[in-house]
Structure 1
Amino acid sequence: MSSISENAASENSASQNAASGNATVLLIGASRGLGYAIAAEYLDRGSRVVATVRGSRRTALHELQATADGRLEIEHVDINAPEQVQALRERLDARRFDLLFVNAGVTNSPEETTADVTTDEFTRLMITNALSPMRAIETLGDLVHPEGSMAIMSSRQGSIAHNERGGFEIYRASKSALNQLMRSYAARHRHDRRTLLLMAPGWVKTELGGPNARLTVDESVPGVVRAIEAQRGRTGLHFLDYLGQTVAW
């Protein structure tokens, strides 16, 4: 078989595996909240998941691993440490995934504005919410099958069009920056066949979203995963919510 035929057969096989529920997922940021729930959702669907946590502390993800029949591997990576992301890339060099999902996000006081936020706090949000996720895409993207998908957790609050009330100014700005950087990435890779996604999970009751949020994790995460799976095979960049609906830029 020629190398071209072999590559086509490999891509075909990967696509069939993903469609049949045997997808391979590389999930960055899964120790708690939405990341943990996304790992659990893909495992429930029969997928194999490599998921990352920060530090060496035992997390809920480790408890999940005990019931995952060997389909969950845990790696330790701080997304804000480029050398750790690169080391992960090297450890996984021989493997390929149907989906790379980057889940990273921190917030700050909703009342803080550019008039009173400290430079350190502004920098913290921009690095964690915008720069580091994009660095992860840049570093790990080649591990995704040519017909696979790459997704980043964004937010409806990153939409400039939907910002009519203000609040969470610095968080909003960091997610808008993420969206812009992902659009630049898509423009640079316009001939890439991979599906690129920015996902808005809704306002969810997590440590980040707080107790007053409108959605539970169980209401948001299955929708996020369904939206990702529904986009498989569609090239270009899509900004979607947990219902699979397009979010205005």
Structure 2
Amino acid sequence: MKTILIVGASRGLGRALAEEHLSRGWHVIATVRDPAALRDAPPGKLEVHTLDVTDWAGVDAFGRALKDRSLDVLFVNAGIADDKRPIGEVQPDVFARLMLTNALAPLRLIDRLVHLVPREGTVAVMSSGLGSVAGNGTGGWEAYRMSKAALNTGLKSIAARRAAEGRTYIATAPGWVRTEMGGDEAALSIEQSIPRVTDMLEKRAGAGGVAYVNYDGKDLPW
């Protein structure tokens, strides 16, 4: 039985990712902020831990609790959105919270837990198509874009620094999905996104290197 750790599985895309892997027979280790978040999850091998990714001491304690485990996939999904204002109108405390939650916290956690992932394993983050610098032709969502671009850059840096250790690193763009964060007007349902994200992860397992990939398996420009 393969094991995936999903950080940020309380709701939305993270919860769907946990449920999809349970349905495929994986052992799922899921972190949530609300201990009751996954109590009605479908049957399967599910292990739930309470964690806030910006609780630095809590992350270290969580790492110690997993010190003897092996993960086929480490997937960090935790993230927040902003209010879409132009960058000149974004309050500094809002920007700082975005960068801490969407960039520093996931990357810091990965760098502390990556040793649990063997050479043939995968490390993934839930990025966004809005994180593409080359693909930004419209502007908008500027603070959020910056946080996801920072996440992508940081993942690529970790992959480069640890290249000799093997592993596959993937920044995943799930598409614009109808969730609490994505809104009701989003183009995709969760059912149209997450199973295809999971297919992509399975297809790219063991490939090595680092990639920025859309939910449909296509590479995105950094």
TM over 0.5, yes or no? yes
- 2:29 maps to 1:50: yes
**What does the per-residue CA deviation read over 1:128-152, in whole Å, with 9 as the maximum and x for residues that have no partner?**
1111010110111111122111100
**What does the per-residue CA deviation read over 1:106-134, in whole Å, with 9 as the maximum and x for residues that have no partner?**
11112x12211110000011111111010
| Counterpart in the other structure of 1:235 | 208
Distance 1:192 1:204 in 2: 34
- 2:109 maps to 1:136: yes
- 2:18 maps to 1:39: yes
Q: CA RMSD in A?
A: 1.0
| Counterpart in the other structure of 1:90 | 64
| Counterpart in the other structure of 2:138 | 165
- The aligned amino acid for 2:66 is L
Superposition deviation, residue 55 in structure 1: 4.1
Matched position secondary structure for 1:183:
helix
| Counterpart in the other structure of 2:86 | 113
Residue of 32, 39, 46 corresponding to 1:62: 39
**What does the per-residue CA deviation read over 1:16-49, in whole Å, with 9 as the maximum and x for residues that have no partner?**
xxxxxx3111110000000000000000000000
Superposition deviation, residue 220 in structure 1: 0.2
Normalised TM-score (structure 2): 0.97
Do the aligned residues in 2 keep the contact of 1:224 with 1:243 (CA within 8 Å)?
yes
**What does the per-residue CA deviation read over 1:2-26, in whole Å, with 9 as the maximum and x for residues that have no partner?**
xxxxxxxxxxxxxxxxxxxx31111
Distance 2:180 2:113 in 1: 27
Superposition deviation, residue 182 in structure 1: 1.0
- 2:201 maps to 1:248: no
The structure that has the greater radius of gyration is 1
Matched position secondary structure for 1:145:
coil
- Structure 1 segments of 4 or more deviating over 4 A? none
Matched position secondary structure for 1:179:
helix
| Counterpart in the other structure of 1:16 | none
| Counterpart in the other structure of 1:194 | 167
Do the aligned residues in 1 keep the contact of 2:73 with 2:117 (CA within 8 Å)?
yes
Normalised TM-score (structure 1): 0.87
Give unpaired runs (5+ residues) of structure 1: 1-21
Distance 2:160 2:122 in 1: 16
Do the aligned residues in 2 keep the contact of 1:82 with 1:135 (CA within 8 Å)?
no
Matched position secondary structure for 2:89:
coil
Distance 1:46 1:39 in 2: 11
Do the aligned residues in 1 keep the contact of 2:127 with 2:173 (CA within 8 Å)?
yes
Matched position secondary structure for 1:146:
coil
Do the aligned residues in 2 keep the contact of 1:192 with 1:235 (CA within 8 Å)?
no
Distance 2:218 2:56 in 1: 33
| Counterpart in the other structure of 2:53 | 79
**What does the per-residue CA deviation read over 1:128-183, in whole Å, with 9 as the maximum and x for residues that have no partner?**
11110101101111111221111000000000111111110000010001111111
State the number of aligned residues: 222
Do the aligned residues in 1 keep the contact of 2:10 with 2:34 (CA within 8 Å)?
no
Give unpaired runs (5+ residues) of structure 2: none
**What does the per-residue CA deviation read over 1:47-74, in whole Å, with 9 as the maximum and x for residues that have no partner?**
0001000144x22x1111xx424x0010
Matched position secondary structure for 1:50:
strand
Task: Report sequence identity in percent.
Answer: 44
Distance 2:176 2:145 in 1: 13
